[in-house]
Amino acid sequence: MQVKGISAYGAYVPSLRMSRKAIAQAHSWALPSLRGLGKGTRAFCSWDEDAITMAVESVRNCLKNGADGAAPIGALTFASTTAPFADYQNATSVAAATGLPSNIQASDASGSLRAGTSALLNALQNSRSESALIVASDCRLAKPGSVQEMHYGAGSAALAVGSDNIIARFVGSESNATQFADHYRRSGADHDYYWEERWVRDEGYMKIVPATVNTLLEKTGTPADAIQHFCMPGTLARLGAGLAKKLGINPEAVVDNFAADIGDTGSPQALLMLIAALEKASPGERILVVGFGAGCDALLLEATDAITEYQPAVPLSTVNDHARTVEHYNQLLSFSGQLQLDWGMRAEVDNKVSISQLYRSQDQVTGFNGGECSSCGAVQFPILSTCVKCGSTEPMSRKSLADESARVATYSSDNLQYYPAPPMYWGLVQFDNGARLLMEMVDVNAESFDVGTPLRMTYRIKQKDDSRGLHRYFWKATPF
Amino acid sequence: MATGIRDKVAILGMGCSRFGERWDSGSEHLAAEAFSEALDDAGIEKNQIEAVWSGSALDNINVGNSAIPLAMALRLEGIPISRMENMCATGTETLRGAAYAVASGAVDIAMAIGVEKLKDTGYGGLPAPTKGTLNDLWFPYGSAPAGFAQLAAGYRAKYGTSREDLKRALAHVSWKSHQNGVKSPKAHIRKAIDKDTILNAPIIAEPLGLFDCCGVSDGAACAIVTTPEIARSLGKTDIVTIKAMQLSLSAGRESATADWDGSYVRNTRIASQKAYAEAGIRNPREELSLMEVHDCFSITELVTMEDLGVSKDGQAVNDILDGFYDADGSVPCQIDGGLKCFGHPIAASGLRMTYENYLQILGRAGERQIKDARIGLSHNLGGVPYNGVAAVSIIGRYEQ
């Protein structure tokens, strides 16, 4: 049997960070006890981001970081507890936006925060593809004023699993299914319901995790002190350190859980910690990854010699480079739909999507493919029946614009148009390959933005159709 | 070889309703107001009109589609009436339809009318229209001022104009139109505004502030056309004829290729060059008596001065600040207040511009009459600078 392992990774965290102090201050009139948690920041989704858009970004990063190599990708699993669709496969939406072929095995995984590690485990143990992608993505919603509101974050992690060029080989795993309700959320409900933290820690984490991990270490013949990287998700205070101590794992092996600046991202959290470990690991080092939720997954991986050569184009370590801290707590509520502002009559528009039109133009709208004229070579968007440059009516070949370099040709910041994050920046985007189209521009820093500013493309929600639930997704431009 | 329509069509009569927030009037009242003035001016009976082009741009908030509402409003029974819609060029397009009908010999007397009732939405500005099922999936739906503000970014980048200098020229554009609007009894906004107020107004779409944007108004305007010979036979001695009517539409070059730098409007350049050829104008800076251009936003008027070839490229800022286009300048522009102050009921605007040129040429412009008006140009821009429609029409004294 061929050795399986991880060959590439990609991470994505929204650039928006909510100041926890601002959250605590907003609630201080009623819930002064939150002040103690008011340190650092947590990531949150912009109004136009969700688990699908974040998954698209982390998969794109994973492809750039090597997954788009020799082995054909044969499977994609999307793991999330906050998937936008209950029935309209989310994995397929991610595949369509990331240019994966249609002959892949696509599936969604859900049911607990363990969905990410379970999907990884499934790919490592069962995938017959030469290369399988798994992506975990969560945009977690917490009730205003709850402790969870302080802890929860948002993000996505993607991993490529295969046998070629693996940077960490799969050593073994152990799983446990226990009906343990540290929290739960009924289908269709907005918020989680939680039980007492002390019980969760003592009866849940401190018992279920050690039993599972010890079995894994035993059957793989691995001494606990031979673990160099311990990825223990969850943001209960000192959870990783406490478990390491109980298990006999070196305290230095505990991988940072991103609690300080990103927060608890849910199903991707264990995988983000695994990625962080991979960015530090040397050949031969062992990485223990735990997923917790209705029981527990424990996976053991070992870094290979190839890890020294692995140079990710978009490393996780740069994830905070573009972070922007927000002090307006209402922005978090508004972006997550928990506060309905009066946007005026301009917001009263019907955003019904024509599904047959979407299907007909999916490779353009979702895949962001322009057309390349077979007569004159002009790249253009959208693809109409006649070339914009030479007038040829020959069929055009597809040319992806998603990763093409581009610049601002013209722009304005629009205070009049209804937009959930005003002002709305939009204008003509000029691609280096000659294509040009009018686009929305997001995450703009007004001071440094002008004609000529370099742009990259990001997959986002264009408009929301709250009455029918099928939002429009399209690409937007954002400064490098 | 086509000869164009120069001097083939005379304006027999024109009418224009009072523009503004006409809370008391619906489309049908506005249409009747413009129509009755035009009919009186033409000196004919209603039943002498043989064909009508009826313009309304925003059917979703106006009277609905087709020309039936207009036929109902004016009780025009049993004659061909076509509904015309070509964005902000709609009014001029109705006149083109009527003029072509007369020039072709299909009818002796035709009418163009544009009506727009914008103030029944419940908010300021224009509603966001859909652009079709494909565009709905990817097109960023921004406001009209932000669409035209793209010109400011392109213009600054091309000529290295500072934000401050451009803003000062834009303020002069609006200041001038406010000065002029005071003297227009039918104008929507009749109030002079000082430049500091204009410069310090809230930003609508960078760099355009409140006073860089035209009025959103209700209104209607109407023209009745015939041949110069028939006009004479009906007793007209002072005859105004159409010298040129040209139109140009985007086919994607500006918005989908690198061929456009954002500093001008290609359609205006194409349409005006064709119009000058049709009208026999060689030097517009010298030959035009006055201009009514599509100043939906101050930046639009600024680049239009270059697109029409009246200012040299890169020189509009200087010409504007020098007062070249002021009421007492060499080529007065927006002498009636323009879209900025006369108002902009979309489908009526092109006809309202022609109405002002017509009054000026006939010496009937009252307090704002300029000296020796012989040739007047009007210009409309529909859509956005990179994806739109431009109309240029020229009228003048009939000198044969």
pLDDT in tens, A279-336: 999 999 999 999 999 999 999 999 999 999 999 999 999 888 889 999 999 999 999 9
Model confidence at B196, in pLDDT bands (50, 70, 90)? very high
Is B137–A353 a contact, with Cβ atoms under 8 angstroms apart? yes
B152 in the same domain as B110: no
- Name chain A contacts of B134, Cβ cutoff 8 Å: 357, 361, 382
Contact A177, A295 (CB under 8 A): yes
A425 in the same domain as A376: yes
A251 in the same domain as A120: yes
B227 in the same domain as B186: no
Model confidence at A266, in pLDDT bands (50, 70, 90)? very high
The answer to the question of residue B126 being in a domain is no
Domain termination site, one of A286, A312, A335: A335
- Name chain A contacts of B61, Cβ cutoff 8 Å: none
Instruction: Select the residue of B134, B203, B258 nearest A382 (Cβ to Cβ).
Output: B134
B256 in the same domain as B193: yes
Provide the pLDDT for residue A70: 65
Which of A5, A30, A33, A34 lies closest to A19, judged by CA?
Answer: A34
Is A438–B139 a contact, with Cβ atoms under 8 angstroms apart? yes
A369 in the same domain as A308: no
The strand ranges marked E within chain B are: 10-16, 51-55, 81-84, 110-116, 203-205, 208-209, 219-226, 240-249, 290-292, 375-384, 387-397
pLDDT in tens, B54-85: 999 987 777 788 999 999 999 999 999 999 99
- Name chain A contacts of B151, Cβ cutoff 8 Å: 410
The answer to the question of residue A340 being in a domain is no
The answer to the question of residue A265 being in a domain is yes
Is A426–B140 a contact, with Cβ atoms under 8 angstroms apart? yes
- What percent of chain B clears pLDDT 70, i.e. is strictly above it? 99
A296 in the same domain as A410: no
Q: Please report, for the domain that includes residue A278, its CATH number.
A: 3.40.47.10
The domain containing residue B305 runs over which residues? Answer: 143-212+240-397
A266 in the same domain as A199: yes
Give the distance from residue A412's alpha carbon to the nearest chain B alpha carbon, in angstroms: 6
Is A416–B125 a contact, with Cβ atoms under 8 angstroms apart? yes
A243 in the same domain as A295: yes
- Name chain B contacts of A435, Cβ cutoff 8 Å: 256
Which of A401, A412, A461 to probe the B interface (max B CBs under 10 A)? A412
- Name chain A contacts of B127, Cβ cutoff 8 Å: 346
Count CB atoms within 10 A of the CB of residue B372: 8
A316 in the same domain as A377: no
Dihedrals phi, psi of B46, to nearest 5 degrees: -55, -40
The answer to the question of residue A13 being in a domain is yes
B277 in the same domain as B227: no
Count CB atoms within 10 A of the CB of residue B140: 23
Provide the pLDDT for residue A69: 78
User: H or E segment at B136?
Assistant: helix B133-138
Instruction: Select the residue of B137, B154, B257 nearest A472 (Cβ to Cβ).
Output: B137
Which of B121, B126, B137 to probe the A interface (max A CBs under 10 A)? B137
A361 in the same domain as A319: no
Domain termination site, one of A335, A355, A374: A335
B378 in the same domain as B321: yes
Calculate helix-pair angle for B27-42, B346-361, nearest 10 degrees.
Answer: 20
Calculate helix-pair angle for B144-159, B163-181, nearest 10 degrees.
Answer: 130
Give the distance from residue A60's alpha carbon to the nearest chain B alpha carbon, in angstroms: 20
B345 in the same domain as B204: yes
B290 in the same domain as B259: yes
pLDDT in tens, A160-193: 999 999 999 999 999 999 999 999 999 999 999 9
pLDDT in tens, B84-106: 999 999 999 999 999 999 999 99
B229 in the same domain as B244: no
Is A436–B136 a contact, with Cβ atoms under 8 angstroms apart? no
- Name chain B contacts of A365, Cβ cutoff 8 Å: 137-138
Give the distance from residue B297's alpha carbon to the nearest chain A alpha carbon, in angstroms: 14
The domain containing residue A210 runs over which residues? Answer: 5-335
Which of A459, A446, A454 lies closest to A430, judged by CA?
Answer: A454
B102 in the same domain as B189: no
B182 in the same domain as B250: yes
Is A424–B125 a contact, with Cβ atoms under 8 angstroms apart? no
B310 in the same domain as B179: yes
A314 in the same domain as A364: no
pLDDT in tens, B317-363: 999 999 999 999 999 999 999 999 999 999 999 999 999 999 999 99
Domain termination site, one of A302, A335, A368: A335
B202 in the same domain as B229: no
**In the predicted model, is pLDDT for residue A130 greater than 90?**
no
Residues of B with a Cβ under 8 Å from any A Cβ are: 121-123, 125, 127-128, 133-143, 145-147, 149-154, 156-157, 202-206, 208, 251-253, 255-258, 261-262, 386-387
A305 in the same domain as A207: yes
Q: What average pLDDT does the segment A87-94 reach?
A: 97
- Name chain A contacts of B137, Cβ cutoff 8 Å: 353, 357-358, 361, 365, 462, 472, 474
A386 in the same domain as A365: yes
ipTM above 0.90, yes or no: yes
A463 in the same domain as A318: no
- Name chain A contacts of B167, Cβ cutoff 8 Å: none
- Residues 320-379 on A with a CB inside 8 Å of B are 344-346, 349, 353-354, 357-358, 361, 364-365, 378
CA separation for the pair A247, A236 (Å, rounded):
17
Provide the pLDDT for residue A415: 96
Instruction: Region of B160 please: left (phi>0), alpha (psi -120 to 50) or beta.
Output: left
Count how many domains chain B has: 2
Which residues, including other chains, have CB under 8 Å from residue A320's CB and lie 6 or more apart?
A13, A261, A262
Provide the pLDDT for residue A351: 86
Q: What average pLDDT does the segment A64-84 reach?
A: 92
The answer to the question of residue B4 being in a domain is no
- Residues 390-449 on A with a CB inside 8 Å of B are 408-418, 423-424, 426-428, 430, 434-440
Count how many domains chain A has: 2
Interface A-B, measured as beta-carbon pairs within 8 A, has a size of 138
Q: Please report, for the domain that includes residue B201, its CATH number.
A: 3.40.47.10
**In the predicted model, is pLDDT for residue B236 greater than 70?**
yes
Instruction: Select the residue of B135, B143, B262 nearest A410 (Cβ to Cβ).
Output: B262
Is B146–A450 a contact, with Cβ atoms under 8 angstroms apart? no
